[in-house]
Structure 1
Amino acid sequence: MESKKLLIIDDDENILHLMAICLQRWGYRVWMASDGKAGLQLAQEHIPDVIILNIVMPGMNGQQVLRELIWRGSTSKVIIETAIRDLNFAMMMIQNGACDYLVQPLESLHQLYISVQRAVKLKEAEDTIRSNNEKISQFSEQMDILKGENEILKSQADLILEENCQTIKAQIENMSAGEER
Protein backbone atom coordinates (compact mmCIF):
# COMPACT_ATOMS: atom_id res chain seq x y z
CA MET A 1 0.00 0.00 0.00
CA GLU A 2 1.29 3.45 -0.90
CA SER A 3 2.34 5.71 1.97
CA LYS A 4 -0.08 8.52 2.67
CA LYS A 5 1.20 12.01 1.95
CA LEU A 6 1.23 14.70 4.63
CA LEU A 7 2.14 18.36 4.53
CA ILE A 8 3.02 20.30 7.67
CA ILE A 9 2.78 24.10 7.51
CA ASP A 10 4.21 25.77 10.61
CA ASP A 11 6.60 28.67 11.14
CA ASP A 12 8.07 27.07 14.29
CA GLU A 13 11.02 25.02 12.98
CA ASN A 14 11.17 22.88 16.15
CA ILE A 15 7.51 21.83 15.89
CA LEU A 16 7.86 21.35 12.15
CA HIS A 17 10.81 18.97 12.46
CA LEU A 18 9.45 17.10 15.51
CA MET A 19 6.15 16.40 13.75
CA ALA A 20 7.93 15.43 10.53
CA ILE A 21 10.18 12.94 12.32
CA CYS A 22 7.23 11.35 14.14
CA LEU A 23 5.03 11.16 11.05
CA GLN A 24 7.84 9.64 8.97
CA ARG A 25 8.41 7.01 11.66
CA TRP A 26 4.69 6.24 11.52
CA GLY A 27 5.05 5.52 7.80
CA TYR A 28 3.89 8.75 6.20
CA ARG A 29 5.59 10.68 3.39
CA VAL A 30 6.04 14.20 4.72
CA TRP A 31 6.65 17.63 3.20
CA MET A 32 7.30 20.73 5.30
CA ALA A 33 6.69 24.44 4.76
CA SER A 34 7.56 27.24 7.16
CA ASP A 35 5.01 29.72 5.79
CA GLY A 36 1.57 29.75 4.21
CA LYS A 37 2.62 30.69 0.69
CA ALA A 38 5.23 27.90 0.49
CA GLY A 39 2.66 25.52 1.97
CA LEU A 40 0.13 26.31 -0.74
CA GLN A 41 2.79 25.71 -3.39
CA LEU A 42 3.69 22.31 -1.89
CA ALA A 43 0.00 21.42 -1.56
CA GLN A 44 -0.49 22.13 -5.25
CA GLU A 45 2.63 20.16 -6.28
CA HIS A 46 2.18 17.07 -4.08
CA ILE A 47 -1.59 16.96 -3.38
CA PRO A 48 -1.24 15.63 0.17
CA ASP A 49 -3.88 13.47 1.82
CA VAL A 50 -3.60 15.49 5.04
CA ILE A 51 -2.32 18.98 5.84
CA ILE A 52 -1.35 19.93 9.39
CA LEU A 53 -1.74 23.70 9.49
CA ASN A 54 -0.67 26.22 12.11
CA ILE A 55 -2.84 29.32 12.40
CA VAL A 56 -0.53 32.03 13.71
CA MET A 57 2.21 32.58 11.13
CA PRO A 58 3.76 35.70 9.64
CA GLY A 59 2.58 36.68 6.19
CA MET A 60 -0.23 34.40 5.09
CA ASN A 61 -1.80 32.95 8.26
CA GLY A 62 -3.46 29.56 8.61
CA GLN A 63 -6.99 30.91 8.16
CA GLN A 64 -6.00 32.42 4.83
CA VAL A 65 -4.29 29.19 3.78
CA LEU A 66 -7.39 27.14 4.67
CA ARG A 67 -9.62 29.56 2.75
CA GLU A 68 -7.31 29.37 -0.29
CA LEU A 69 -7.18 25.56 -0.16
CA ILE A 70 -10.98 25.39 -0.12
CA TRP A 71 -11.22 27.95 -2.94
CA ARG A 72 -8.82 25.87 -5.06
CA GLY A 73 -10.95 22.76 -4.53
CA SER A 74 -8.38 20.87 -2.49
CA THR A 75 -9.52 17.46 -1.27
CA SER A 76 -6.78 17.33 1.39
CA LYS A 77 -8.03 16.95 4.95
CA VAL A 78 -6.79 19.83 7.11
CA ILE A 79 -5.88 19.51 10.79
CA ILE A 80 -5.48 22.84 12.56
CA GLU A 81 -2.73 22.94 15.20
CA THR A 82 -2.48 26.13 17.20
CA ALA A 83 -2.01 27.64 20.63
CA ILE A 84 -5.40 29.39 20.32
CA ARG A 85 -7.61 27.84 23.02
CA ASP A 86 -10.89 29.40 21.93
CA LEU A 87 -13.80 26.98 21.41
CA ASN A 88 -15.66 29.41 19.13
CA PHE A 89 -12.55 29.81 16.97
CA ALA A 90 -12.12 26.03 16.83
CA MET A 91 -15.75 25.59 15.76
CA MET A 92 -15.31 28.28 13.11
CA MET A 93 -12.24 26.47 11.69
CA ILE A 94 -14.19 23.19 11.52
CA GLN A 95 -17.12 24.96 9.82
CA ASN A 96 -14.68 26.51 7.35
CA GLY A 97 -13.35 23.12 6.26
CA ALA A 98 -10.85 21.78 8.81
CA CYS A 99 -11.46 18.21 9.98
CA ASP A 100 -9.77 18.53 13.40
CA TYR A 101 -8.37 21.10 15.79
CA LEU A 102 -5.36 20.39 18.01
CA VAL A 103 -4.27 22.80 20.74
CA GLN A 104 -0.53 23.28 21.35
CA PRO A 105 1.25 22.13 23.28
CA LEU A 106 -0.06 18.67 22.51
CA GLU A 107 -0.71 16.51 25.56
CA SER A 108 1.03 13.64 23.78
CA LEU A 109 2.22 12.64 20.33
CA HIS A 110 -0.46 9.96 20.46
CA GLN A 111 -3.00 12.79 20.11
CA LEU A 112 -1.34 13.79 16.83
CA TYR A 113 -1.21 10.16 15.68
CA ILE A 114 -4.94 9.63 16.32
CA SER A 115 -5.89 12.89 14.61
CA VAL A 116 -3.83 12.06 11.52
CA GLN A 117 -5.24 8.52 11.36
CA ARG A 118 -8.81 9.84 11.52
CA ALA A 119 -8.06 12.40 8.81
CA VAL A 120 -6.52 9.73 6.56
CA LYS A 121 -9.55 7.45 7.03
CA LEU A 122 -11.91 10.34 6.29
CA LYS A 123 -9.95 11.16 3.13
CA GLU A 124 -10.03 7.51 2.02
CA ALA A 125 -13.80 7.35 2.61
CA GLU A 126 -14.38 10.56 0.66
CA ASP A 127 -12.15 9.32 -2.18
CA THR A 128 -14.13 6.06 -2.32
CA ILE A 129 -17.43 7.94 -2.39
CA ARG A 130 -16.12 10.27 -5.11
CA SER A 131 -14.91 7.30 -7.17
CA ASN A 132 -18.22 5.45 -6.76
CA ASN A 133 -20.18 8.58 -7.73
CA GLU A 134 -18.08 8.87 -10.89
CA LYS A 135 -18.77 5.22 -11.72
CA ILE A 136 -22.50 5.73 -11.13
CA SER A 137 -22.46 8.81 -13.35
CA GLN A 138 -20.66 6.92 -16.14
CA PHE A 139 -23.09 4.01 -15.80
CA SER A 140 -26.04 6.40 -15.93
CA GLU A 141 -24.65 8.03 -19.09
CA GLN A 142 -24.20 4.59 -20.67
CA MET A 143 -27.76 3.64 -19.72
CA ASP A 144 -29.06 6.86 -21.33
CA ILE A 145 -27.13 6.02 -24.51
CA LEU A 146 -28.50 2.46 -24.50
CA LYS A 147 -32.00 3.77 -23.85
CA GLY A 148 -31.64 6.10 -26.84
CA GLU A 149 -30.30 3.27 -28.98
CA ASN A 150 -33.15 1.07 -27.76
CA GLU A 151 -35.69 3.70 -28.86
CA ILE A 152 -34.05 3.83 -32.30
CA LEU A 153 -34.10 0.02 -32.55
CA LYS A 154 -37.74 -0.04 -31.44
CA SER A 155 -38.64 2.53 -34.11
CA GLN A 156 -36.76 0.51 -36.73
CA ALA A 157 -38.46 -2.69 -35.58
CA ASP A 158 -41.86 -0.98 -35.80
CA LEU A 159 -41.07 0.16 -39.37
CA ILE A 160 -39.93 -3.33 -40.38
CA LEU A 161 -43.03 -4.86 -38.78
CA GLU A 162 -45.27 -2.37 -40.61
CA GLU A 163 -43.50 -3.08 -43.92
CA ASN A 164 -43.82 -6.84 -43.36
CA CYS A 165 -47.50 -6.48 -42.51
CA GLN A 166 -48.08 -4.48 -45.69
CA THR A 167 -46.13 -7.04 -47.73
CA ILE A 168 -48.11 -9.94 -46.23
CA LYS A 169 -51.37 -8.05 -46.78
CA ALA A 170 -50.41 -7.42 -50.41
CA GLN A 171 -49.48 -11.09 -50.87
CA ILE A 172 -52.79 -12.18 -49.35
CA GLU A 173 -54.65 -9.78 -51.62
CA ASN A 174 -52.71 -11.10 -54.61
CA MET A 175 -53.45 -14.68 -53.59
CA SER A 176 -57.13 -13.85 -53.08
CA ALA A 177 -57.27 -12.14 -56.47
CA GLY A 178 -55.62 -15.18 -58.06
CA GLU A 179 -58.12 -17.61 -56.48
CA GLU A 180 -61.03 -15.57 -57.75
CA ARG A 181 -59.88 -16.08 -61.37
Structure 2
Amino acid sequence: MNKALVIDDDEMDLELLRLLLTKEGYDVLTTADGPQGVLLYKEHRPAFVFLDLGLPSMSGIEVLKEIRAHDPQSKVILITGYGSVESAVEAMKHGALDFIEKTWDAAEMLYKIQNILYAFG
Protein backbone atom coordinates (compact mmCIF):
# COMPACT_ATOMS: atom_id res chain seq x y z
CA MET A 1 0.00 0.00 0.00
CA ASN A 2 1.26 3.48 -0.85
CA LYS A 3 1.97 5.78 2.05
CA ALA A 4 1.14 9.45 2.37
CA LEU A 5 2.36 11.84 5.04
CA VAL A 6 0.25 14.74 6.31
CA ILE A 7 2.00 17.46 8.32
CA ASP A 8 -0.51 19.95 9.72
CA ASP A 9 -0.95 21.55 13.13
CA ASP A 10 -4.73 21.91 12.75
CA GLU A 11 -6.36 18.76 14.14
CA MET A 12 -9.51 19.05 12.00
CA ASP A 13 -7.55 19.52 8.79
CA LEU A 14 -5.19 16.69 9.72
CA GLU A 15 -8.13 14.34 10.26
CA LEU A 16 -9.91 15.46 7.08
CA LEU A 17 -6.83 14.82 4.96
CA ARG A 18 -6.22 11.49 6.71
CA LEU A 19 -9.78 10.39 5.90
CA LEU A 20 -9.64 11.58 2.29
CA LEU A 21 -6.30 9.89 1.62
CA THR A 22 -7.34 6.68 3.38
CA LYS A 23 -10.43 6.60 1.16
CA GLU A 24 -8.08 6.83 -1.84
CA GLY A 25 -6.19 3.74 -0.62
CA TYR A 26 -3.23 5.34 1.13
CA ASP A 27 -1.71 4.29 4.42
CA VAL A 28 -1.55 7.71 6.08
CA LEU A 29 1.06 8.94 8.55
CA THR A 30 0.27 12.16 10.39
CA THR A 31 2.03 14.69 12.59
CA ALA A 32 1.45 18.26 13.71
CA ASP A 33 5.18 18.95 14.02
CA GLY A 34 7.57 19.98 11.22
CA PRO A 35 10.75 18.34 12.55
CA GLN A 36 8.80 15.13 13.30
CA GLY A 37 7.44 15.25 9.75
CA VAL A 38 10.97 15.36 8.34
CA LEU A 39 11.90 12.32 10.46
CA LEU A 40 8.76 10.44 9.35
CA TYR A 41 9.60 11.20 5.73
CA LYS A 42 13.14 9.88 6.09
CA GLU A 43 11.92 6.74 7.87
CA HIS A 44 8.93 5.84 5.67
CA ARG A 45 9.57 7.50 2.27
CA PRO A 46 5.86 8.14 1.53
CA ALA A 47 4.60 8.55 -2.02
CA PHE A 48 3.17 11.99 -1.19
CA VAL A 49 3.51 14.65 1.49
CA PHE A 50 0.72 17.10 2.22
CA LEU A 51 2.38 19.90 4.13
CA ASP A 52 0.79 22.86 5.90
CA LEU A 53 2.56 26.13 5.19
CA GLY A 54 1.94 27.64 8.64
CA LEU A 55 3.48 25.29 11.19
CA PRO A 56 4.48 26.65 14.61
CA SER A 57 7.89 25.08 15.19
CA MET A 58 9.25 25.15 11.64
CA SER A 59 7.67 26.76 8.56
CA GLY A 60 6.27 24.59 5.81
CA ILE A 61 8.88 26.04 3.44
CA GLU A 62 11.67 24.97 5.84
CA VAL A 63 10.19 21.46 6.07
CA LEU A 64 9.91 21.36 2.27
CA LYS A 65 13.57 22.35 1.89
CA GLU A 66 14.71 19.63 4.34
CA ILE A 67 12.64 16.93 2.66
CA ARG A 68 13.83 17.97 -0.81
CA ALA A 69 17.47 18.08 0.38
CA HIS A 70 17.07 14.49 1.59
CA ASP A 71 15.13 13.35 -1.48
CA PRO A 72 15.03 15.62 -4.55
CA GLN A 73 12.35 13.36 -6.09
CA SER A 74 9.92 13.79 -3.17
CA LYS A 75 6.33 14.71 -4.03
CA VAL A 76 5.31 17.51 -1.68
CA ILE A 77 2.07 19.46 -1.90
CA LEU A 78 1.81 22.62 0.20
CA ILE A 79 -1.58 23.31 1.77
CA THR A 80 -2.65 26.44 3.56
CA GLY A 81 -5.62 28.35 4.81
CA TYR A 82 -3.79 31.61 4.17
CA GLY A 83 -2.49 31.39 0.65
CA SER A 84 -0.80 34.16 -1.27
CA VAL A 85 0.78 34.34 -4.69
CA GLU A 86 4.17 34.97 -3.07
CA SER A 87 3.84 31.85 -0.89
CA ALA A 88 2.84 29.73 -3.88
CA VAL A 89 5.77 30.99 -5.95
CA GLU A 90 8.23 30.36 -3.11
CA ALA A 91 6.87 26.84 -2.57
CA MET A 92 7.18 26.01 -6.26
CA LYS A 93 10.73 27.43 -6.39
CA HIS A 94 11.69 24.98 -3.65
CA GLY A 95 10.20 21.98 -5.43
CA ALA A 96 6.58 21.70 -4.30
CA LEU A 97 4.39 19.92 -6.85
CA ASP A 98 1.40 22.08 -6.06
CA PHE A 99 0.05 24.64 -3.65
CA ILE A 100 -3.59 24.36 -2.64
CA GLU A 101 -5.73 26.41 -0.34
CA LYS A 102 -7.65 24.58 2.36
CA THR A 103 -11.39 24.58 1.99
CA TRP A 104 -14.06 23.36 4.34
CA ASP A 105 -15.82 21.77 1.38
CA ALA A 106 -14.70 18.13 1.64
CA ALA A 107 -15.85 17.33 -1.91
CA GLU A 108 -13.75 20.19 -3.31
CA MET A 109 -10.69 19.13 -1.29
CA LEU A 110 -11.15 15.52 -2.42
CA TYR A 111 -11.39 16.69 -6.04
CA LYS A 112 -8.16 18.69 -5.74
CA ILE A 113 -6.34 15.83 -4.02
CA GLN A 114 -7.55 13.26 -6.55
CA ASN A 115 -6.34 15.47 -9.41
CA ILE A 116 -2.90 15.77 -7.82
CA LEU A 117 -2.67 12.05 -7.11
CA TYR A 118 -3.74 11.24 -10.66
CA ALA A 119 -1.36 13.74 -12.24
CA PHE A 120 1.70 12.81 -10.21
CA GLY A 121 0.95 9.32 -8.87
The aligned counterpart of 2:83 is 85
The aligned counterpart of 2:115 is 114
* Residues in 2 aligned to 1:115 and 1:106: alpha-carbon distance in whole angstroms: 18
CA distance 1:106–1:91, change in 2 (3 Å): farther
Q: Which amino acid aligns with 2:48?
A: V
Q: Superposition pairs for residues 148-159 of structure 1, below 5 Å? A: none
Q: Higher relative contact order at CA 8 Å, sep ≥6: structure 1 or structure 2?
A: 2
Q: Which moved more, 1:105-114 or 1:23-32?
A: 105-114
More helix by share: 1
TM-score, structure 2 as length reference:
0.89
Identical amino acids, percent of aligned pairs: 31
Query: Is residue 49–residue 75 contact of structure 1 (8 Å, CA) maintained in 2?
Result: no
* Residues in 1 aligned to 2:72 and 2:3: alpha-carbon distance in whole angstroms: 14
State the secondary structure of the residue aligned to 1:110: helix
Query: Is residue 42–residue 70 contact of structure 2 (8 Å, CA) maintained in 1?
Result: no
The structure with more radius of gyration: 1
Query: Is residue 5–residue 41 contact of structure 2 (8 Å, CA) maintained in 1?
Result: yes
5+ unaligned residues in a row in structure 1: which ranges?
Answer: 121-181
Q: Which amino acid aligns with 1:96?
A: H
* Residues in 2 aligned to 1:77 and 1:38: alpha-carbon distance in whole angstroms: 18
* Residues in 2 aligned to 1:49 and 1:31: alpha-carbon distance in whole angstroms: 11
The Cα shift of 1:74 comes to 4.6
5+ unaligned residues in a row in structure 2: which ranges?
Answer: none
Where do 4+ consecutive residues of structure 1 move more than 6 Å?
none
Query: Is residue 106–residue 112 contact of structure 1 (8 Å, CA) maintained in 2?
Result: no
Among 32, 35, 55, the alignment partner of 1:34 is 32
Work out the number of aligned pairs and report it: 118
Q: Which moved more, 1:99-108 or 1:61-70?
A: 99-108
More strand by share: 2
The aligned counterpart of 1:4 is 2
Q: Superposition pairs for residues 16-27 of structure 1, below 5 Å? A: 16-27=14-25
CA distance 1:97–1:106, change in 2 (3 Å): farther
